[in-house]
Structure 1
């Protein structure tokens, strides 16, 4: 089954699992410079526990624990493969990394506000921003595909699932009912994913393009 996955989906699964294994062998503290830290300071000669530009991507390949890793990789397995088969490997990889970086930018804004208000500076890790971007794309490209929830086990359309998940993240983010989870990073991944798809389709806010009349050799971007 694994060998049948498209190449980028395979690579993302292998890379995240390999990095988690290194975290377990070397200790999580070894990777502090690759976690996403709030922009409380910038010291290029002391990259630990302060923001560095590369963290906008590297944090997405680190995970806090095994359950965190397994949940995200299950989502990459479920939603990544059909999206890569639809878009192709290059477009799929670009989309995933943009969602990871976009989620990181949103989390930086939240972290800056928290530190400015006197809160502690804590790092963010996990591929969840990219995963939520994949979830949104799946709901947009396959809106009527049936998904089965785990808790409770209720089937629903992908579009409905995405909407409910987005609303839940928004509520949890503003209420703080689930501390320790970067809900606004999740929403950021969905937002940037939505913007990327709108851009590829030539839809507002990036301007609209009328489809050409008659046959065309150009392939429509899904």
Structure 2
């Protein structure tokens, strides 16, 4: 249920920002506004706006499928709002390296929920590494996708030829894994058992 609420709020805010450029400019991650104007809310609000409908739909579809699976676990450990707290904190943590690197760059901007979504995705992968993820309609084991995702993100981040914040993807993924392990250390053992006992070999 909370996953659906997060998606609904994100779609609404993104849609409003599509229509109102001034709103987008107020919510986007713009480091000088945080550094000089103390608008720390931008560390969160940038995760609720997107560049276009394709960007928005990709993030929200991913959040829909994987968020609902792990949401009950957070409720068990952290209470009814546990998943929301995890997701919002992931948005902040994922963007911090980018903010620190560009804090004095007035030309830099970043937006999108990708950091938080990456945290949700990798929390799911830690629980179910051999579940199938459909990439361009092709079924891929989650753990294989995770390795490819991290490798590509490192490669693309070094190239720096596109406008995608790959650093936030990597930071979000790492945060999702670390958060899960700190919340429930037993997840690590579960991951190892699942990893060494592939479902398709059972």
Specify the TM-score bucket, using the shorter chain as the normaliser. 0.7 to 0.9
Cα distance in structure 2, aligned partners of 1:170 and 1:86? 30
Please say which of residues 82-91 and 181-190 is displaced more in the overlay: 82-91
Structure 1 moving runs of 4+ over 6 Å: none
Equivalent residues, number: 183
Q: CA deviation at 1:31?
A: 3.0
2:143 is aligned to 159
2:25 is aligned to 32
Q: Conserved in 2, the CA contact under 8 Å of 1:38 and 1:121? A: no
Residues 1:10 and 2:7 are matched in the alignment: no
Structure 2, unaligned runs of 5 or more:
189-202
2:125 is aligned to 139
Cα distance in structure 1, aligned partners of 2:65 and 2:50? 19
Residues 1:195 and 2:178 are matched in the alignment: yes
Q: Which TM-score applies when normalising by structure 2? A: 0.82
The Cα RMSD (Å) is 2.2
Instruction: Give the number of the structure whose residues are more often helix, by fraction.
Output: 2
SS in 2 for 1:126: coil
Q: Conserved in 1, the CA contact under 8 Å of 2:130 and 2:143? A: yes
Please say which of residues 31-40 and 159-168 is displaced more in the overlay: 31-40
Query: CA offsets, 1:166-200, max 9 Å, x none?
Result: 111111001124x1111101111112222211211
Query: CA offsets, 1:126-171, max 9 Å, x none?
Result: 0000111111111101111122211xx4322111111211111111
Q: Which TM-score applies when normalising by structure 1? A: 0.75
SS in 1 for 2:81: helix
Please say which of residues 132-141 and 190-199 is displaced more in the overlay: 190-199
Larger Rg: 1
Cα distance in structure 2, aligned partners of 1:159 and 1:60? 25
Q: Conserved in 2, the CA contact under 8 Å of 1:34 and 1:58? A: yes
Cα distance in structure 2, aligned partners of 1:40 and 1:93? 25
SS in 2 for 1:42: helix
Structure 1, unaligned runs of 5 or more:
1-6, 45-50, 209-222
1:175 is aligned to 159
Cα distance in structure 1, aligned partners of 2:8 and 2:58? 15
SS in 1 for 2:133: strand
Q: CA deviation at 1:39?
A: 4.2
1:48 is aligned to none
Distance 1:126 1:166, change over 3 A: same
